Chain A
Amino acid sequence: MTIAIIGAGPAGIEAASVLAKQYQVILFEREERPLCNIRDKAFLFPDFSSADELADKLESKLSHENITLKTATPVVSMQRTGEQWTLTTADGTTATFDAVLLATGYKVFDAHQKEELGYGIYKGVITSLEMEKMIKENNIRNNMNEIPKQIVFLQCVGSRDEKSGNHYCSKVCCVTAVKQAIEIKKQHPETDVYIFYMDLRMWGQGFEEMYREAQEKYGVSFVRGRISEAASTFDNRVQIKAEDTLMGNPMTMNSDLLVLMVGMCASEGTATLSKCAGIDGLYRFAQSLSPHTEDNLTAQPNLFLAGSCKRPMCIEDTIQDARAAALEIM
């Protein structure tokens, strides 16, 4: 049996490592290097383990004689012929496989769409991905290259948001903001950190403890309310307007940085290929056959799904899901 896996993220690599025990697997990756979405992180929740270490560990699984990795090779279309699938890559090459696993993952929400929050307009407004890079480089600075006195996080940017068309919860942003807030306080204890939220969804093991620790040990302030508008101040900081919905008060405050917790959206690969294969689901994610017992199967024969191409998913769930997908294929 010939097997193609599209996407060399945690789902694709984990599934490949399981399948390689019995089959030859070809792994297509659009980027120059696999695991980009992990390598751009500093630490992982809930244990603050190194993202690079996890990426290295996953990447080492690719050193298997039955796995062929093709980087910088985006699959642009796929077509079914009988029970087989023919994939076409960007350079026009085609290849036919007995089974295909879609592990094309997610991309982060484009914060430019929330114009009222000023991303791309004001330098002090950044995304959670950009904050992660600052944390990783131990270089948390405002736009005047100073250590920030205040940092404000805003949850649910492009998630649970009717205006942007994404009604769903991205699942990982709540705990990511808590993780980043703690990292900021570890690097700069004197910086005041505020997190504006709708409600905090601390669903995973250890998440609630992190949330408590952020408040009690690190003094992170949590404010229930949405930020309606961001603007630049005379001294190049960010003025935000919000409503504290617990106190019932509108509020205005200035901050050195406003961090937008951008949600997870279907990647271009996920959206294009799932539509091409006729398995496109809600919000351009891929649609599994059933969320309960057939979550790795699709309505198409020999086309399987793993990871966040289906919906927002954290890394540990993605890895579990990839193993399950590999078992379905076997």
Chain B
Amino acid sequence: MEKRFWNEYQKEIADDHFFYERSCIRQTFFPGSEATFLNIMRNDLGKDIYDSSHQHTCTGIGYHSDVVPFETTMTIVARLFSLMTERGYKNYVPSCVTSFGVMTELIEKWKEQPEILEKAREYLYKATGRTFEMPENIVHPSDLIFKFRFELKEKMKYQLINRFTGKPLRGVEHIGCHYAKIFPKHGIGNAEFPYVLAGMIEAWGGEVVDYPERRHCCGFGFRQYLVQENRGYSIANSKKKFESMEPYEPDFIVANCPGCAMFLDKWQYTIAEMEHKTYDKEGYGIPVLTYEELAGLLLGYDPWVMGMQLHQVQCERLLDKIGVAYNPDDKYRGASGKILRAPEKPDVLKV
């Protein structure tokens, strides 16, 4: 890219004391990512971040698929904010990009129409007896990793450099729609060329792949996948992206949305089964990481503790390129030390 527009778009990101809200789906898709984020924030950066055991859904998927009414979403989000308020926090960090989108939308709405904010207060109070304040600062966790990317680099054991060739590893970044497309001003780098993940890749020694379908949907669009009959649209979108990025031979994909990371990972298996096609030269597929996993790997976190063995496209080849130390024998070892049964191998996609 010729010009770095992202510099012209900045957002305020608080420095410390955060209330963390977990995602309803990320712990299934990428089970160690949220724990990794909390560990990075607390142990590597020394930040205060609170993880409440009383939290719940933001209703995002239901809201965007029109099965949850606005008033319900508003009240449920108000309850989440009340948890933050009662713990004395003012900086809110929702793990999921869709939660981030729902909340920024509601906050904008409440600022524009205070009478609706009053309704939210009334609904919440009547339902739960709770009160809440709006967050003073709401950011996505990827904003925080971006903000502290250079501090983290100082602590990293590895860089995004191919240790066999000495060249930067090539990373495809994919940004969740609800990160900046709803409110471009709330994303680092605006909606067209967000820099939040590209900034991490570049700061940590890698090279960002700018491919033609970079801004195309990953296939997680809710109306594409919620109804089973529509899932052809979902996989078609992912396929379009894979075909577009393939000539650039990316070493990995990183995403900041639960759905993007999940579909870009899982559909590679499906396409391999359907068409005997993989998007790397050797048939292993392109590993898909969350930004927490990417940061964690470079910081020296154990990939198996981060749950990376649960990815569809296996990550060992990337670990080898980076030079990450790992024990293959621990890949399917449970917390008790017992070796768990390894999953069945796919027919086409190599593992």
Q: Which residues of A contact B (CB under 8 A)?
A: 112, 115-116, 120-123, 229, 231-234, 239
**B5 touching A115 by the CB < 8 A rule?**
yes
CA distance A229 to B190 in the complex (A): 15
Besides A122-B2, A232-B212, 13 more A-B contacts (Cβ < 8 Å) are: A115-B190, A115-B193, A116-B192, A120-B5, A121-B2, A121-B5, A122-B1, A123-B2, A229-B215, A231-B212, A231-B213, A234-B248, A239-B212
Report B240 CB to chain A, min CB distance, Å: 9
Chain B residues with a Cβ under 8 A of chain A: 1-3, 5, 190, 192-193, 210-215, 247-248
Name 26 interchain pairs, CB-CB below 8 A, sorted by A: A112-B3, A112-B5, A115-B5, A115-B192, A115-B193, A116-B192, A120-B2, A121-B1, A121-B2, A121-B3, A121-B193, A122-B1, A122-B2, A123-B2, A229-B215, A231-B210, A231-B211, A231-B212, A231-B213, A231-B215, A232-B210, A232-B212, A233-B212, A234-B212, A234-B247, A234-B248
Question: Looking across the interface, which residue of chain A has its beta carbon closest to that of B184?
Answer: A115
Is the beta-carbon distance between B211 and A234 smaller than 8 angstroms?
yes
Q: Main SS of the interface on chain B?
A: loop
In the complex, what distance in Å separates the CA atom of A116 from the CA atom of B215?
10
Distance from A85 Cβ to chain B, minimum over Cβ atoms (Å)? 38
Least CB distance, B125 to chain A, in whole angstroms? 40
Q: In the complex, which residue of chain B has the Cβ closest to the Cβ of A122?
A: B2
Residue of A nearest to B193 (CB): A115
Closest CB of chain A to B94's CB: distance in Å? 26
Bound CA–CA A275/B173 (angstroms): 45
Measured CB to CB, the closest approach of chain B to A157, in angstroms, equals 15
Closest to A116 in B: B192
Output the nearest chain B residue to A252 by Cβ-Cβ distance: B212
Chain A positions within 8 Å of B211 at CB level: 231, 234
A109 CA to B212 CA, complexed, in Å? 26
| Cα separation A112 to B2 with both chains bound (whole Å) | 12
In the bound complex, what is the Cα–Cα distance between A216 and B211 (angstroms)? 37
Q: B213 — nearest CB in chain A belongs to which residue?
A: A231
- Output the nearest chain A residue to B192 by Cβ-Cβ distance: A115
Bound form: Cα–Cα A229–B193 in Å: 12
Q: In the assembled complex, how far is the CB of residue B298 from the closest CB belonging to chain A, in whole angstroms?
A: 28
Q: Chain A residues near B212 (CB, 8 Å)?
A: 231-234, 239
Shortest CB distance A155–B (Å): 20
B248 to chain A, nearest CB (A): 7
Point out the residues of chain A lying under 8 angstroms from B2, CB to CB. 120-123
- For the complex, give the distance between the alpha carbons of A233 and B211 in Å: 6
Q: Are B214 and A120 in contact (CB under 8 A)?
A: no
Pairwise interchain contact A231-B193, C-beta atoms closer than 8 A: no
Complex formed: what's the CA distance from A116 to B214 in Å? 12
